[in-house]
Structure 1
Amino acid sequence: MTRTSDDAPDEDAPDVVVLRKSTHGVPVSEYGAELRERLPDRTVAYARTPTEERELVADAPVVAGMELDADLLEHAEAMELFACAYAGTGHLPLDALEDRGVAVTNASGVHGPNIGEHVVGNLLVFARRLHEGWRRQRNREWRHFRAHELQDSTVTVVGLGAIGRSVVERLQGFGVETVGVRYTPEKGGPTDEVVGFEGPEFEDALARTDYLVLACPLTETTRGLIGKPELKTLPPDAVLVNVARGPVVDTDALVWALRGSHLRGAALDVTDPEPLPEDHPLWNFENCLITPHCSGHTPEYYSRLADIVADNVRRLDDGEELRNRVV
């Protein structure tokens, strides 16, 4: 992919093209600027329109963006790497990319610190019942309420990828027991204990969980992982925090659990359906905190992502293994 000075690139033949879709309300042009800073010897082009995307990807070895449809893929004749700006890649035409011999990487690790903080923040809110304090403040009630302690509780983290590990790391010092859930428990992990996704060990972990954190990808295994049987197994004083994907939890079962005091509370950054309809009962539960799938927002998003992609541009040149490769 390296060009010589005799073959200097111009705007029609960039080394890297950044597609136009932004995320978290931050202009994707900032992503392009971060890449230019890290790749001063390469041409990084930002495509502002659909037409510019089709024109620029034609000769670009590396394309970076949130999504890539089949039509744009047809125009990307020179593409060797699609650097997806999301951790999840299920929305991409992966089979077609693989057939074309195009490598695909994701943004795994970019969200670790911010989502880890989001989770711990929600744990502390429920531990100290800060949401009840906010409610009484709105009503101008000077009336005491009882709280809990996070210390000595058991926190089960489902998914020990970059986000799950970040949660566990940030729980150090709070005096909690941690249980990790992963596909290959024999590999261990940063938690005090590691179990698989099913069977007696998983059930036993749920039965002694005070705070259940879902930080796993949505797969055939995890779809509907937490339904009425699992919610019945959790202690009624448990709290569920979901920063994974909405369908990991059976929404109707969650409504049943919250409405019937089978669960102390839930903090949902993702829902099923999403967005949550305005007339959905979850909006009105005082023990359910909802954020609009924004735990992934961080001012460092494009900076961290550019670190990965710039490194992979160099690795692609040198024939080295790519970071975060999924195809």
Structure 2
Amino acid sequence: MTMRRLVVDMQSSAPHMRLPAWAADEITANTPDGWEVAHIATQSRSLGNGTNEPSAETLAAIPAAEAYFGYGLTPPLLAAAPGLRWAHSASAGIGESITPELRESRVVFTNGAGIYAEPMADTVLGGVLHFVRGLDLAVRLQAASIWDRHPFVDNNGGIRELSEYRVLVIGAGGIGSAVAQRLQALGCTCIGVRRRPALGIPAGFTRVVGPDALEEVLPLGDITVVAAPLTDGTRSLLDGGRMALLPAGAIVVNVARGPLVDDAALLEGLESGRLRGAVLDVFSTEPLPADSPWWQHPRVLVTPHVSGVSPRRTWQRGIALFMDNWRRWSAGERLHNVVDLDAGY
């Protein structure tokens, strides 16, 4: 009997993206009947949007594969896999994988959307409180060994209670809903923007609008969180004109992808004092160059694209999602997280 083959290509050069031994054992121990698993041992340079330069070991294993579990798909990988029918990316961002070669193939492509929502929402909450409660001021004063209450009690210091803020979440999907649920529980009113508002109002939101109403709701965004996928339609979504619509004292948070936000417009808003602060986990250029103005800006909190890091629980959710999809694929059932190649996510 010919065995159906799954290739697991998860030995990333980035340690936090490398498949844990317990997860590899779980895949092997729960292999459906009729399947064999080829675990690739060679490290590869795995990025959030796809895997570059598949290893020789991968290229040797993939021709007989029906399924692939890795970090996206590249044209060389697709060219070497004539029998590939389903691929699952452990990453949520898959923009670089959507190539003409993928569109022309018969491959069903699924991703890890949703598994990073909880830690990302925790990061958003922490970053927002950093500015709402003046912790940015506290850090600078502590570094200078200065005991000074004035920046906190000055009416212009921007210190407020969290429940006074209205929240706008651009991208009301899994991440956006997790953000809204946390902030709503703490007294905020949350409005979401999503591509298809007719799908309903996710948990945490009081209202959801479509992209055509973005300019209408931006003036309500005391806290504006960017959590949308990067597509041709969302690039520079928060540009200079839209940035100018944000209310005075707004806090901007980007945990999506750097190119969704106009860097120059955001910097101008911060420099002028019109914006209270920015929480930035992603940037147009990564790694962030040493001479970037973001590093030393007093109104900016920088994290190095790690908002989704949760060393064990993210992997638990990701493996559970993959294993359920593998079972569904084997049984001919509908898969979770099938990527819409036209929408870009």
> TM-score, length-normalised on structure 2?
0.85
What are the superposed Cα offsets for residues 192-239 of structure 1, whole Å, 9 maximum, x if unpaired?
Answer: 1122223xx432321122100000011233211112222221112100
The answer to whether structure 1 residue 196 and structure 2 residue 210 are counterparts is: yes
Q: Counterpart of 1:39?
A: 31
The answer to whether structure 1 residue 130 and structure 2 residue 127 are counterparts is: no
Of 67-76 and 120-129, the range deviating more from structure 2: 67-76
Query: How far has the Cα of 1:258 moved from its partner?
Result: 0.8
Change (3 A) 1:22 1:106: farther
Task: Indicate conservation of the 8 Å contact 1:32/1:45, yes or no.
Answer: no
Q: Counterpart of 2:155?
A: none
Q: Counterpart of 2:327?
A: 314
Residue 16 of structure 2, aligned match among 25, 28, 31: 25
Q: Counterpart of 1:48?
A: 41
Taking the aligned partners of 1:210 and 1:94, their CA distance within structure 2 comes to 38
Q: Counterpart of 1:120?
A: 125
Mapping 1:280-291, distance limit 5 Å: 280-291=292-303
Task: Indicate conservation of the 8 Å contact 1:158/1:216, yes or no.
Answer: yes
The 3-state SS of whatever aligns with 2:337 is: coil
Q: Counterpart of 1:154?
A: 166
Change (3 A) 1:139 1:40: farther
Of 106-115 and 28-37, the range deviating more from structure 2: 28-37
Aligned-residue RMSD, C-alpha:
2.1
The 3-state SS of whatever aligns with 1:82 is: strand
Task: Indicate conservation of the 8 Å contact 2:237/2:260, yes or no.
Answer: yes
Change (3 A) 1:19 1:110: same
Of 180-189 and 204-213, the range deviating more from structure 2: 180-189
Of 157-166 and 90-99, the range deviating more from structure 2: 90-99
Task: Indicate conservation of the 8 Å contact 2:223/2:250, yes or no.
Answer: yes
Taking the aligned partners of 1:67 and 1:177, their CA distance within structure 2 comes to 36
Identity of aligned residues (%): 36
Of 112-121 and 220-229, the range deviating more from structure 2: 220-229
The 3-state SS of whatever aligns with 1:167 is: helix
Taking the aligned partners of 1:322 and 1:94, their CA distance within structure 2 comes to 21
Taking the aligned partners of 2:226 and 2:26, their CA distance within structure 1 comes to 31
Residue 88 of structure 2, aligned match among 70, 75, 83: 83
Q: Counterpart of 1:163?
A: 175
The one-letter code of the counterpart of 1:245 is R
Paired residues, number: 316
Mapping 1:1-327, distance limit 5 Å: 7=1, 14-21=5-12, 23=14, 25-30=16-21, 31-39=23-31, 42-49=35-42, 50-144=55-149, 145-146=151-152, 147-190=159-202, 191-198=205-212, 201-299=213-311, 300-326=313-339
Taking the aligned partners of 2:138 and 2:189, their CA distance within structure 1 comes to 27
> TM-score, length-normalised on structure 1?
0.89
The 3-state SS of whatever aligns with 1:151 is: helix
What are the superposed Cα offsets for residues 59-104 of structure 1, whole Å, 9 maximum, x if unpaired?
Answer: 2221111133222222223322111111122211544234331111
Task: Indicate conservation of the 8 Å contact 2:168/2:220, yes or no.
Answer: no
Query: How far has the Cα of 1:179 moved from its partner?
Result: 0.7
The 3-state SS of whatever aligns with 1:115 is: helix
The 3-state SS of whatever aligns with 2:186 is: coil
Structure 2 residue runs of 5 or longer lacking an equivalent are 43-54, 153-158, 341-345
Task: Indicate conservation of the 8 Å contact 2:167/2:220, yes or no.
Answer: no
Query: How far has the Cα of 1:160 moved from its partner?
Result: 1.0
Taking the aligned partners of 2:263 and 2:290, their CA distance within structure 1 comes to 15
Structure 1 residue runs of 5 or longer lacking an equivalent are 1-6
The 3-state SS of whatever aligns with 2:77 is: helix
Taking the aligned partners of 1:75 and 1:20, their CA distance within structure 2 comes to 19
Task: Indicate conservation of the 8 Å contact 1:24/1:294, yes or no.
Answer: no
Change (3 A) 1:8 1:78: closer
The 3-state SS of whatever aligns with 2:168 is: strand
Change (3 A) 1:98 1:149: same
Query: How far has the Cα of 1:29 moved from its partner?
Result: 4.8
Task: Indicate conservation of the 8 Å contact 2:166/2:190, yes or no.
Answer: yes
